[in-house]
Structure 1
């Protein structure tokens, strides 16, 4: 049976970062993949990569159909066309560790969703910290965010068991919102505690500037509203778990500006984790 993974990468003005992203896919030990590169800026990424000797017949180049439609709409273009059993998300400035797809596909034999620990890095690929590292484990929807406290665009999933679409109406947190859609039909995920995904922290995501913070707060409140209205159809204990994380995260957003002023360069994850630990200790 085929074990092809479609890796979905939306590209908007990604000329500076995409080569490293593409190279990380080319270096996968699991070679049964398609790399969907969806241009959201009208740029010829196929020709661009060929000029840099990074082209491969497993790459698929399509367009979002517009300019600047956003990552959610752009990812959905690929999701509407896929025929592979598995799919993964990879932003145009992030990278996969060489064994990520191999280890994820092995876990997908038993689980419908696989998440991995993150290697959080600067734009120069200098290590900042790990997120979600530790033992491999099965997680319920209510447990997931208490382990993986950062972004969720590192997922690999079985499309035959769960499906969804990214919500273009949300400015932030679309990766978590999409994951919650998958949890509707997949009751648990498998978390690989080895950091297998390089998450590049850009200036906006590192500092949570005013516009970023406003969008984060609005999006977290909307996901919380959907959760508590039964929108995702999760068990009560899972709603409680995700909602509890979001409430602590909203408190962290409110306090982050002052914490950052006191400690310039403070990562939001480093700010959030003690608050989560305190909430769990109650």
Structure 2
């Protein structure tokens, strides 16, 4: 049997304080056939940083983004241009994978080109805050995906032979959703695993949790919405655009109200702010 290897793509920018924990979560995977591709976006030698922590493994390799602070999208694209594996997964340098993530995702990839998983949302000390998209395993379409995975889309794994794309370096936010829509151009459905298999850390400066980032989020969501309505994404499931657009309409309304809601309830997660609005829409 030929091993099916995952490339776990991890941009790293000023990640010295978090990267050890993140890399250990990859080393702890029950499925051993992976390569971890670190893309240094700050000129740091992260293999040396890891070695100082006692972390060495021949499956870990480092690339350079070719820039200093060029952003996660550029760094991920550098890796995607050089990968020699069929399967890919995204992991930020301050998040973690649960031990079974790659093993369970591999089984789902037998029938689906895209696999998403529920999130365990945590604070900076890895204390649990909430789950996102926890529940039964289910097949999703482009139009239903965001109504289940209402936050963050970098928990996906995908088969690059059946669906692939590149990250949009012109967008400041929502690049994970934009990338996912590229994958859905050739994949009519995806499989969602309802077990929380990805630890997503909410930081005070998080793009989806900070009180001063609404303008960037609104601009990016508006761009994607305009693209959907112009036919920019010829989705394999033609009806999918309507569902994504409906989600974005509500999410934009939530963005406009979030700063006031956060002031009234300090620490309010955007997911907790958005979820009741989605439920009220009855989808």
TM-score, scaled to structure 1: 0.98
Q: Deviations over 1:129-167 (max 9, x none)?
A: 000000000000000000000000000000000110001
Measure, in 1, the Cα distance between the counterparts of 2:210 and 2:189. 30
Aligned pairs, how many? 280
**Which residue is 2:142 aligned to?**
141
1:22 and 2:28 are equivalent in the alignment: no
Measure, in 2, the Cα distance between the counterparts of 1:67 and 1:258. 35
Once superposed, what is the RMSD of the aligned Cα atoms?
0.9
Deviation at 1:2, TM superposition (A): 3.0
Measure, in 2, the Cα distance between the counterparts of 1:277 and 1:269. 12
Contact 2:211 2:262 survives alignment (8 Å): no
Q: Deviations over 1:91-117 (max 9, x none)?
A: 000000000000000100111000000
1:217-232 matches, cutoff 5 A? 217-232=218-233
Q: Deviations over 1:192-247 (max 9, x none)?
A: 0000000000112364322x211100000000011111111024421110000000
1:203-242 matches, cutoff 5 A? 203-205=204-206, 207-210=209-212, 212-234=213-235, 235-242=237-244
Three-state SS of the structure 2 residue aligned to 1:204 is coil
**Which residue is 2:260 aligned to?**
258
Three-state SS of the structure 1 residue aligned to 2:119 is strand
Contact 2:202 2:209 survives alignment (8 Å): no
Contact 1:113 1:157 survives alignment (8 Å): yes
Measure, in 1, the Cα distance between the counterparts of 2:259 and 2:198. 28
**Which residue is 1:182 aligned to?**
183
**Which residue is 2:269 aligned to?**
267
Measure, in 1, the Cα distance between the counterparts of 2:245 and 2:3. 37
**Which residue is 2:84 aligned to?**
83
Deviation at 1:266, TM superposition (A): 0.6
Measure, in 2, the Cα distance between the counterparts of 1:161 and 1:260. 41
Deviation at 1:52, TM superposition (A): 1.0
Contact 1:2 1:85 survives alignment (8 Å): no
TM-score, scaled to structure 2: 0.97
1:1-282 matches, cutoff 5 A? 1-205=2-206, 207-210=209-212, 212-234=213-235, 235-280=237-282
Query: Which runs of 5 or more residues in structure 2 are unaligned?
Result: none
